[in-house]
Amino acid sequence: MSDHPPRPLPNRPRNAGVPLQRDWFEQIAVNTQAAERRAATLTTRRTVKKEWQAAWLVNAIRCIDLTTLSGDDTPDRVARLCAKARRPLDDHLMEGLGLGALTTGAVCVYPLLVPAAVKALAGSGIPVASVATGFPAGLAPLALRLAEIRYAVEEGADEIDIVIHRAQVLNGDWQALYDEVAAMREACGAAHMKAILATGELRTLRNVYKASMVAMQAGADFIKTSTGKEGVNATLPVSLVMVRALRDYGARTGQKIGFKPAGGMKTAKDAIAWQILMKEELGNDWLRPDLFRLGASSMLADIERQLEHHLTGRYAAFSRHALA
């Protein structure tokens, strides 16, 4: 067991949560077509080019939760991922862009591999995130899910990505969902908690809004779209609904809650699109890693290629960049 104390994220107090407030969400109506239209125009109404695009891509790197969640993960793979998190860009790119220091937002692994990540990231200030609660399905008994959270925290995880029980959303059992998420929040102790909604399995955007609101009321510090294992993962219309719920919660409570899209995002273009969403809907505060994360790894390779092109006018082969 590690004696590593969770490192609080800078400049962001924990979400204290509130008692379950059904009137905040039960009568909500979501116009799916309007949400899809708004999402479709986000990237056409605002474009970034040249040095501004490079700056947005560097910022995306700062917000990436560099992740490995494969059945064949090993301590060596995690150590390699952590080395990439410490040094996400080659020296010639760092020098060309005039960057003094750059790391990813966090490294995310399974609970069993938290000690390997803690060891590899020692002294870097990069948080270690761990999935838990029977990821990705979340169908283990609650006592086991809570025990898994406590295990990951004891091993040194700074952040816990929990999964909700989707059937509670589909059945409208909001009290049960609230109680479970609140119990998970308590089990996290000082570690920050991201609540994964698995939006691809919630069927409607109304359900996405309601689940987002209940998770935040129960104390989630972040709300997250997906596990990356569903058939449909992060999409801009779903993300739009979630950040609107996040904005509504903030207006009622004065608390700033973070947002993390995850799964299916692979390109630098995706990194720009989700940052535009955050800037347009929530403002510049949500372009920082304490309130915004991108759950991706393969995206980093394309960002590197785009930054190489910005500096040299040529695209490098993927094989030239260290694997994330």
CA dihedral 103, 106, 111, 114 (to 10 degrees): 30
Residue 64 CB neighbour total at 10 angstroms: 27
Q: What CA–CA distance (Å, rounded) separates 154 from 132?
A: 13
User: Over pLDDT 70: what percentage of the chain?
Assistant: 94
Is 260 one of the catalytic residues? Answer: yes
* Catalytic-labelled residue, pool 224, 256, 270, 290: 224
How remote is the C-alpha of 316 from its chain's centroid?
Answer: 28
Is 256 one of the catalytic residues? Answer: no
Q: Which 8-state DSSP code applies to residue 100?
A: S
Summarize pLDDT for 243-283 with one digit per residue, the tens: 999 999 999 999 999 999 999 899 999 999 999 999 999 99
pTM for the structure as a whole:
0.94
Q: Which two tokens stand for residue 298?
A: 């393969």
* Catalytic-labelled residue, pool 256, 260, 270, 290: 260
* Catalytic-labelled residue, pool 65, 158, 161, 290: 161
Summarize pLDDT for 120-162 with one digit per residue, the tens: 999 999 999 999 999 999 999 999 999 999 999 999 999 999 9
User: Which residues are paired to 223 by β-bridges?
Assistant: 195, 259
* Confidence class for position 315, pLDDT limits 50, 70, 90: confident
Q: Are 39 and 223 in contact (CB under 8 A)?
A: no
Q: What CA–CA distance (Å, rounded) separates 313 from 137?
A: 44
Q: Which 8-state DSSP code applies to residue 13?
A: -
Summarize pLDDT for 166-201 with one digit per residue, the tens: 999 999 999 999 999 999 999 999 999 999 999 999
Domain ranges of the chain: 22-311
What is the residue-wise DSSP string for 122-169?
TTT-PPEEEE-SSTTT--S-HHHHHHHHHHHHHTT-SEEEEE--HHHH
**Residue 318 vs residues 170, 229, 236, 272: alpha-carbon distances, Å:** 42, 24, 27, 20
| 12 has pLDDT over 80 | no
| 321 has pLDDT over 80 | no
Fold type of domain 22-311: TIM Barrel (3.20.20)
| 320 has pLDDT over 70 | no
Is 161 one of the catalytic residues? Answer: yes
